[in-house]
Structure 1
Amino acid sequence: MCGISGVIGVAATERATGILNVINGAIAHRGPDDCGSWVTPGIALGQRRLSIIDLSCAGHQPMHSADGNLVLVFNGEIYNYRELRQELYDYPYQTQTDTEVILAAWQKWGTACVHRFNGMFAFAIHDKARNEVYLFRDRLGIKPLYYYQSGEVVLFCSEVRGLLASGLLPRKLNKAALADYLRYQTVHAPETMVLGVLMLLPGHYMHIKDGGATIAGYWAPETNYSRRSEGKSYTEIKQEVYTLLQRAVERRLVADVPFGAFLSGGIDSSAIVGLMSRVASQRVKTFSVTFEEEAFSEARYAAAVAKKFNTDHTEIRLTPDNFLELIPAALQAMDHPSGDGPNTYVVSKVTKEAGITMALSGLGGDELFAGYDVFNRMAALQQYRWVARLPLAVRRAAGFTIRKLKPSVASTKISELLNLSSWDLSGAYPITRQFYTDEFLQQLTGRTSLEENRVQQLVRESNNRQVQHGVNMPLLSQVSVAEITSYMQNTLLRDTDQMSMAHALEVRVPFLDYELVEYVLGVPDSYKYPTSPKKLLTDALGDLLPMDIINRPKMGFILPWQNWLRQELYTFAEQRLNSLGKRGILVPQEVQQLWQRFLAGDPAVTWARVWYLVVLENWLEAHGIEA
């Protein structure tokens, strides 16, 4: 796990070296164990290393192939590197790293080697003989890779802050991405909040040669989901799910540093810990952040799981005030604005301070096994899609009445759904994740129209790929893909990376093993319909988890944000909202009215719908981004 960077197209080596050093310095927190660079006319590659596998200096990067032709910088882990190493036995290895296996695989298979990698990764590889550079990002977007292109110059880095530090790009707000952020508290790849800075899409690569750059995809869930479950019984499917998940966990236990697992006491993290306890060669270390206040704490669930699996459990007790004190540092660590990052920052901080360098997480379980309410809602909408065929005037009147009788976020979304001409996934799903209606956002921005809804675009692109390849995924699998390509990749995974790497902590996510993902996406809806919490997953696990864990209420990370914004964070929030209103990108009166509605307890303006605006302004100020 590391941070990588590069400067392509700057001929003067002294200048390229200077730029690279500045970029590398900006991401030093990602790799405190080592720093490396390699520069030749037109190409400069850099890396910050967090040592996880082969802790010796032999793992130094940039790493060169045995024949000296290839130069590689790599961020992530290739979990099946040992199997690949046995297959590539004739390569003259000098290290025990997975990094060197990438070089060996590239020499034998070229770009096709990526199809053989099981892992999370972002890497750049330079072929001297061909004078070309390739940038690759893993299938599911676990590891980030940002780039900026101006003419023949291409900069890339694991974080936006590194590119900003280069001094080669204007610190300008990407106004076209603002609507995306206002809708979904994030900006969906490939766009970012900085004008000109883009994010390489998951499952894609960039080829740089002769002053030009082209981008292509090599994997997408719709074209790679497995048909292995077709015609099989539920018993057989459960067994295969269990085997794939156990193998995913086992692969992610390969490390030469102390490791553990996040344990909330929910189904996903408990499943990971349970499987770890079955395959690990040592007692599993688990970590839970708990609170004295019963309303916020999941301590008893986590303690029960830890006891069942005899883990070496560390319960880190925080008061909400302790958490509150960490918020400024969490905001400072934020590489790209998000309304949902401080939680991950705190968990990562206390885990790292407990002596852990790598931790497993249950992230991805909800998206893959229909754990969110949105799966129920989308299934229900299909059953009642006849409602969308009623006269528009009738539906609008019904929506207006619902909003008036019971104003809330839920009633607003029901009203939006009733205004749709149909309840297909591309129309209905984006509304379920949207913070505010487009009608309100037009008032907030003072604009008569907004950019196309990016989540709607992602769902349509997914539908188009299915049509082009003559496939038709099950409905719940389509919702899974929508969740994975929108909320999970662009909020959860981005937050996990930037907040864990702020503490040089590697987080591994077994639920996102691509073989498991491909298999579960092909399972029929009838076997995973959410009649009970994550039915297919819990059935596949058998008696691994106690029933009180399976049937417990879903909590998430609950904290008294409503109170904080009205009290301890009041001045901080108000100052930033005032500043945001003066930038010329939002209507000041609308921002203030929104703030006052929240303070007055308007149920349609929850804390999250104010906080993400505070975060946006704080990030713009911290990084000197101008409108």
Structure 2
Amino acid sequence: MCGISGIIGNDWEESSLDKMITCQIHRGPNNSAKFVDESKFVGLGHNRLSIQDLREEANCPMTDNSGNLTLIFNGEIYNFIELREQLKEYTFKTSSDTEVILAAYLKWGKQCVTKFIGMFALAIWDNKNHSLFCSRDRLGIKPFYYYYKNNTLIFASEIKSILAAKVKAEPNWNQWSDYLRFGAMDHSHETFFKDIYMLPAGHNLLLHNFELSFQRYWNVEDASIGIDTSDLKQSTDYLYSLLTDTASLHLRSDVPVSVNLSGGIDSNLLALLIDKHTTSDTCYSFTSSFEDKTYDEYQYVKTLKLNNITKLSTLTNFEDIPTLAYKLTKIQEAPFGGVPTIAYYKLHQSIKEHKIPVSLEGQGIDELFGGYTYTHPYHYADIVKTHGWTFLLQEYPNAAQYRKVIESIIEGHPETVSQDGTSHLRTQAINKEHLSNKNEQLKIVSPYSDNLRDTLYKDLFHTKLPRVLRMNDKLSMSQSIELREPFLDHRIVEFAFNLDNNLKINRSGGKFIIRHLMQNLTGGDSSYIKKLKMSVVTPQTTWLQNELSGWVESILNSQSFKTRGIFDTQVVKSLYADFKTHGSNNSSYIWQWINTELWFQTFIDQAI
């Protein structure tokens, strides 16, 4: 895991590239280096966090044996050992996955990325053809930001690095409107900064003769699986084979590896897989903890039976929040998830203190297999369209409580809700100028013929997972920790979207096939079949209502918030007073106000 940066064009200063590299040193503290061609048309910068082949020879920028190709790379290619067997014609000088990328590009060209199992953001300069090839992994686990103006391309792993190259920080009001009205973040190629974009997941970027072009190299909807995905046994066996293989691949490292655990099924599954495959004498797990047992997941982690993993916890208190909220705003470069994100940041501080450069987490299972309760009515709507209401209520008696939601889905206008099914927006607090002349709904492609897979697709590629991946990459890399995502192996994603929906959601709830697999792995423990998804896992709402109310009011009553012009401050004042007095099931709208003001204070009011 590293930081990459680059400037390509005729008129730029080398000092700008140096500042970009310095800005990302936390992403790669083991080595910083750059490549500038003789004509000073292209400059590539790199900060290395050494994970595979720790020798100096494996540093980036790395040039191939001919001296023509120069590579900078952030991420991991987990199947590099297997790929190396297919690239025997290349004379390797290292045992790194980085050099495998160069050899693969020489042999297969831009199609090489379709052979990678991993997470990556990379750039290859071809000096002979005077062209740049960039690529981002299929799920967008690794970031790639770019700015292109006046025939000059500037790109980096973080937006702050681009700003360091004399790009002015200005708000992108289109993105801010989507966030304020829909709570949408990281759902498109736009960022919260004007003229700074993200390379979409599963895409290549090419620059040649001052022409910038893009190519999508992976579509999950095109993938097929050679088994009967409506058969529970076949599907469970196939999924288990994928999970064991990806667990083994994700444990490849020349440095210590840990695992981030919560009290959920996904995390338990990851822990069991790692416990089985780890070869380390001491493998640690880390869990976010709170004093209030209502929100403390460590109490559930402690009951998990593991042979080779030592469990540790990190405590977050309400006193931590104000200071860390400002710090995380700069780290995140965009609105973030509040107390859960801050607690996760503290967890990675603890990992760093234990000098463990790599950790694994269990993101993706909920998005792939219908873990969130709000996705279930989409499945019910599909059943109604196919078999009618009577059949649905016979097979799923609890579906009756969602009748209005199901009807709205069938009619094509579902309500935007949080993961716990509650409404998280208070658009009446937004000034009218940010509501006018805008689309009434987010424009997101719907590639499938059924509602459930379309909403899972939306969550995975637009509305939920991308923001989580961005937040977790930024907070982990701020501590020089490489965070790996075994369940986002593209082979598992392709399997999930081919799996029969009835094996995702059934009477017992979502993630049925995962629950069934866990029951098998734990010797028939039926509690996993019945275990409910925990929607509220931090005391954010309680803290914002009580302990942190003074801090919240100091922001909402500040002169900058009042004169910002984004919110109707009188409506905000009234809504917050009601929130304190009567409470709420959801505090996302309170955090949205805080997030917005802190971002503008950090990036617009101050020089970064």
TM-score, scaled to structure 1:
0.86
Tell me which residue corresponds to 1:374.
374
2:441 pairs with one of 453, 460, 474: 453
Q: 1:619 Cα shift?
A: 1.6
Q: 1:51 Cα shift?
A: 0.8
1:147-175 CA distance string (max 9 Å, x none): 111120111011111111211x2221111
Tell me which residue corresponds to 1:288.
287
Partner Cα separation in structure 1 for residue 196 and residue 325 of structure 2: 26
Q: 1:531 Cα shift?
A: 2.7
Q: 1:11 Cα shift?
A: 3.8
Tell me which residue corresponds to 2:493.
517
Partner Cα separation in structure 2 for residue 615 and residue 128 of structure 1: 44
1:103 aligns with 2:80: no
Amino acid at match of 2:49: L
Tell me which residue corresponds to 1:181.
179
1:285-323 CA distance string (max 9 Å, x none): 222232332212122321121x34442222334545456
Tell me which residue corresponds to 1:358.
358
Q: 1:193 Cα shift?
A: 0.6
Identity in percent: 30
Tell me which residue corresponds to 1:543.
520
Q: 1:591 Cα shift?
A: 3.1
Q: 1:542 Cα shift?
A: 4.4
SS of 2:236's equivalent in the other structure is: helix
Backbone CA RMSD of aligned residues = 2.8
Instruction: Check 1:498–1:371 CA distance in 2 against 1; reply closer, same or farther (3 A cut).
Output: same
Amino acid at match of 2:364: G
Q: 1:601 Cα shift?
A: 2.6
Instruction: Check 1:571–1:161 CA distance in 2 against 1; reply closer, same or farther (3 A cut).
Output: farther
Tell me which residue corresponds to 1:469.
none
Q: 1:181 Cα shift?
A: 1.1
Tell me which residue corresponds to 2:394.
none
Tell me which residue corresponds to 2:602.
622
Q: 1:442 Cα shift?
A: 6.2
2:452 pairs with one of 476, 480, 504: 476
SS of 2:521's equivalent in the other structure is: coil
Q: 1:416 Cα shift?
A: 8.7
Partner Cα separation in structure 2 for residue 414 and residue 22 of structure 1: 56
Partner Cα separation in structure 1 for residue 554 and residue 10 of structure 2: 42
Query: More displaced, 616-625 or 573-582?
Result: 573-582
Partner Cα separation in structure 2 for residue 566 and residue 524 of structure 1: 43
1:564 pairs with one of 538, 543, 552: 543
Tell me which residue corresponds to 1:554.
533
Partner Cα separation in structure 2 for residue 58 and residue 249 of structure 1: 28
Contact 1:343 1:557 in 2 (8 A): no
Partner Cα separation in structure 1 for residue 452 and residue 156 of structure 2: 35
Tell me which residue corresponds to 2:202.
203
Contact 1:238 1:540 in 2 (8 A): yes
SS of 2:520's equivalent in the other structure is: coil
Matches within 5 A, 1:233-244: 233-244=231-242
Amino acid at match of 1:166: A
Instruction: Check 1:603–1:556 CA distance in 2 against 1; reply closer, same or farther (3 A cut).
Output: closer
1:23 pairs with one of 20, 23, 37: 20
1:58-109 CA distance string (max 9 Å, x none): 1211110110000111000000000111110121111111010000000011
SS of 1:304's equivalent in the other structure is: coil
Amino acid at match of 2:599: W
SS of 2:75's equivalent in the other structure is: strand
Contact 1:361 1:510 in 2 (8 A): yes
Partner Cα separation in structure 1 for residue 21 and residue 126 of structure 2: 22
1:497-532 CA distance string (max 9 Å, x none): 011111011111111000111012101112222433
1:428 aligns with 2:414: yes
Tell me which residue corresponds to 1:462.
446
Q: Which runs of 4+ in 1 moved over 6 A?
A: 413-418
Instruction: Check 1:125–1:462 CA distance in 2 against 1; reply closer, same or farther (3 A cut).
Output: farther
2:260 pairs with one of 252, 259, 262: 262
Partner Cα separation in structure 1 for residue 191 and residue 99 of structure 2: 32
Q: 1:559 Cα shift?
A: 2.9
Aligned residues: 581
Contact 1:291 1:297 in 2 (8 A): yes
Partner Cα separation in structure 2 for residue 106 and residue 342 of structure 1: 39
1:534 aligns with 2:511: yes
Partner Cα separation in structure 1 for residue 230 and residue 409 of structure 2: 38
Tell me which residue corresponds to 1:329.
327
Q: 1:556 Cα shift?
A: 5.5
Partner Cα separation in structure 2 for residue 557 and residue 547 of structure 1: 24
SS of 2:34's equivalent in the other structure is: strand
Instruction: Check 1:421–1:317 CA distance in 2 against 1; reply closer, same or farther (3 A cut).
Output: closer
Partner Cα separation in structure 1 for residue 48 and residue 246 of structure 2: 24
Contact 1:137 1:202 in 2 (8 A): yes
1:612 aligns with 2:583: no
Tell me which residue corresponds to 1:68.
67
Instruction: Check 1:451–1:344 CA distance in 2 against 1; reply closer, same or farther (3 A cut).
Output: farther
Tell me which residue corresponds to 2:164.
165
Matches within 5 A, 1:376-455: 376-383=376-383, 422-424=410-412, 427-428=413-414, 430=416, 440=428, 445=433, 447-451=435-439, 453-454=441-442
Q: 1:325 Cα shift?
A: 6.1
Q: 1:23 Cα shift?
A: 1.3
Which structure 2 segments of 5+ residues have no match? 390-400
Partner Cα separation in structure 1 for residue 353 and residue 213 of structure 2: 42
Partner Cα separation in structure 1 for residue 227 and residue 561 of structure 2: 52
TM-score, scaled to structure 2:
0.88
Contact 1:31 1:48 in 2 (8 A): yes
Which structure 1 segments of 5+ residues have no match? 390-410, 467-471
Contact 1:375 1:530 in 2 (8 A): no
Partner Cα separation in structure 1 for residue 56 and residue 257 of structure 2: 21
SS of 1:171's equivalent in the other structure is: coil
Partner Cα separation in structure 1 for residue 434 and residue 100 of structure 2: 54
Tell me which residue corresponds to 1:35.
32
Q: 1:575 Cα shift?
A: 3.6
Partner Cα separation in structure 1 for residue 20 and residue 352 of structure 2: 25
SS of 1:543's equivalent in the other structure is: helix
Partner Cα separation in structure 1 for residue 92 and residue 343 of structure 2: 41
Contact 1:185 1:339 in 2 (8 A): no
1:343 aligns with 2:334: no
Tell me which residue corresponds to 2:468.
492
Instruction: Check 1:170–1:590 CA distance in 2 against 1; reply closer, same or farther (3 A cut).
Output: farther
Partner Cα separation in structure 2 for residue 187 and residue 178 of structure 1: 11
Partner Cα separation in structure 2 for residue 618 and residue 53 of structure 1: 38
Partner Cα separation in structure 1 for residue 357 and residue 115 of structure 2: 27
Contact 1:301 1:549 in 2 (8 A): no
2:312 pairs with one of 311, 314, 333: 314
Partner Cα separation in structure 2 for residue 274 and residue 538 of structure 1: 13
